Structures are given as C-alpha cells and as structure tokens.
Amino acid sequence: MATLTYVYADSTAVLGPLAQHAEPHSYDLCVEHAERLTAPRGWEVVRLTPEFTPAPPSRDDLLALADAVREAGRRTEPEPAPLPEAVGAVLNDAPRRGHLRVLRGEG
C-alpha cells in the first residue's frame, strides 16, 4: 500500500504511495505497517499520503495473474531416473519409519 524510503543525510523517513519501480533502500509496506510506522528518535517521518487506499486492479495485474497461471500449468516434473537393481533391492528390504527408510551399511 505504501513505499518507505529513508533519507539518511536528513534523518528523514518518507512514506508515500506504492512505488511503480523497485528502488534500492526503499521498502513496500502493507496498510497496517504504513499506519503504525514510527522513526528513530531524532528522525522525522514525512507522510506524502495521509490515508492509504487500495488501488483498483489494473490490466497489468490481470495479465500478470494470467501469465502466472499459464506458467504453473506448463511445469511438469521430470520422472526420476530408475535406481540400479542392487540399490532398489536394499531399499525395499530396509525397515520403514513413516516416510524415512533405514539403510543398512557396513560398520
């Protein structure tokens, strides 16, 4: 809902509308944290927007959601390679505890 930026040279924290682009040393805050923000002693908080209201959904939001759903649908997990026969026999004969298996080894 809001972007917090520090101006260290002026000991100032600037709280304004949500930034459109990522900037170094700026932090996006939810409504609850934006409203409760306090600064260290000796610092000033400049609030560019006294109240933070949610922005209406934009075309970009809808396209980003559609792209994420499309990408999730494309992902397929590759089949794991089969284990060598000797290793498979050891695993099948080992006692099981839940999802873990105990492998017996030498020593």
Q: CA–CA separation, 24 vs 35, rounded Å? A: 22
pTM of the model: 0.48
Q: Each residue of 9-31: pLDDT tens digit?
A: 899 999 988 888 888 888 998 88
Q: Report residue 68's pLDDT band, with 50, 70 and 90 as the boundaries.
A: confident
**Is 90 exceeded by the pLDDT of residue 86?**
no
Q: What stretch of H or E contains 26?
A: strand 26-29
**Is 60 exceeded by the pLDDT of residue 107?**
no
**Is 60 exceeded by the pLDDT of residue 88?**
no
Q: Do strands 100-101 and 26-29 pair parallel, antiparallel, or not at all (unpaired)? A: unpaired
Per-residue pLDDT, 30: 87
In this structure, are residues 18 and 3 in contact, taking their beta carbons and an 8 Å threshold? yes
